Amino acid sequence: MEYIKLLAKCGEGKNSNTEAIASDKLPLSDLIRNMEMCKFCYPFKSSLVYFMDSIYFDVEKDVSEENIGKMMKVMKIIIQDFDSFHEIQQRVKSSKGGQQTGKRLAVVEQTEAEDLDGIYVDINKNFNMLTAFGSIPIVILIEKYIFEICYPAISHYFALRLQINNDEKDLFINFLSLI
């Protein structure tokens, strides 16, 4: 994770040479595969999104057609994470006596065994991530990921002013209504 953050720091100066070197070390296809793999490992996802933001979103150079499609895949993963975060916040609100608003999103997984019907496991609410510094609730990690990493990345993505097709337009409209 620290290596990815270090590579991302190389892109903060908007130097196209260092951005090219960093993008060679971690290509977009590898970044996407890692983001899909690490569903609830928010510290690792934070490093990946920070890298994506520094090397691909917050840049001066033109974006290739091939990278635009890959960037959109990353944005879809980030939007899924926002959906998860929204659903968690709604559950936390309802557990504190408030009314749950909005639709319930598919974050929880139900077992397929007939005798366990109706039992849900929610990794975001019920589990902690163990680190060298102790146990950290996943809810805290996702909040840091969303507010400190994803919001700036999304802002830089929109600043690129890329052309958006109709399917992507609907996705972003739903996303913006969520936030």
7 pLDDT above the threshold of 50: yes
Residue 64 domain-assigned (yes or no): no
Does any domain span residue 24?
yes
Query: Is the pLDDT higher at 93 or at 145?
Result: 145
Question: Where does 127-165 have alpha helices with state H?
Answer: 138-144, 151-159
Q: Which two tokens stand for residue 154?
A: 């999304």
What would the pLDDT profile of 50-61 be if each residue is shown by its tens digit? 999 888 888 766
Q: State the total domains in the chain.
A: 1
Q: What pLDDT is recorded for position 129?
A: 65
Q: What is the mean pLDDT of the chain?
A: 76
Reported as a pLDDT band with limits 50, 70 and 90, residue 104 is: very low
Tokens of 99: 């009314």
Beta strands in the chain (DSSP E): 109-110, 120-121, 128-131, 134-137
Task: Give mean pLDDT, residues 68-73.
Answer: 86
Parent domain of 87: 2-59+69-107+119-178
Q: Which residue has the tokens 């990815």?
A: 4
113 lies in some domain: no
Q: Is the pLDDT of residue 2 over 70?
A: yes
Provide the pLDDT confidence category of residue 47 given band limits of 50, 70 and 90.
very high
**Most distant CA atoms of the chain, gap in Å:** 59
Higher-confidence residue of 15 and 151: namely 151
Instruction: Assign 3-class secondary structure to 47-83.
Output: HHHHHHHHHHHCCCCCCCHHHHHHHHHHHHHHHHHHH
Closest Cα partner for 52 from 31, 72, 30?
31
